[in-house]
Amino acid sequence: MPIRRITISVPERVAGRIRKAAGKKAVSSWVTELIEEHLDDAELERQWEAFYRDVAPRRADIRRAASIFKRLTSR
């Protein structure tokens, strides 16, 4: 994969937090992974919204789905 160098500026306190969070991993690798996850999440959200518009669930369907989700994710 080709790599392109970019420069970003962040406040000093943020830079320190980034370095700390990256741990032993190179900061650029850590930031890249974080950004890729965010971009993937944003794309999934766009796809979900498009699906939701196409399906147009009824209120009863939404309540049922919420109930099932709650039951499956509760401890």
CB burial readout 15-47, b (16+ within 10 A) else e: eeeeeeebeeeeeeebbeeeeeeeeeeeeeeee
* Helices and strands (DSSP H and E) totals, the chain: 3, 0
Question: What pLDDT score does 1 carry?
Answer: 79
Q: Structural domain of residue 43, as residue ranges? A: 12-73
- 19 within some domain: yes
- 63 within some domain: yes
- 2 within some domain: no
- 3 within some domain: no
Number of domains in the chain: 1
- 24 within some domain: yes
**pTM for this model (two decimals):** 0.63
- pLDDT, tens digit, 9 for 90 and up, residues 20-75: 999 999 999 999 999 999 999 999 999 999 998 999 999 999 999 999 999 999 87
Question: What pLDDT score does 18 carry?
Answer: 97
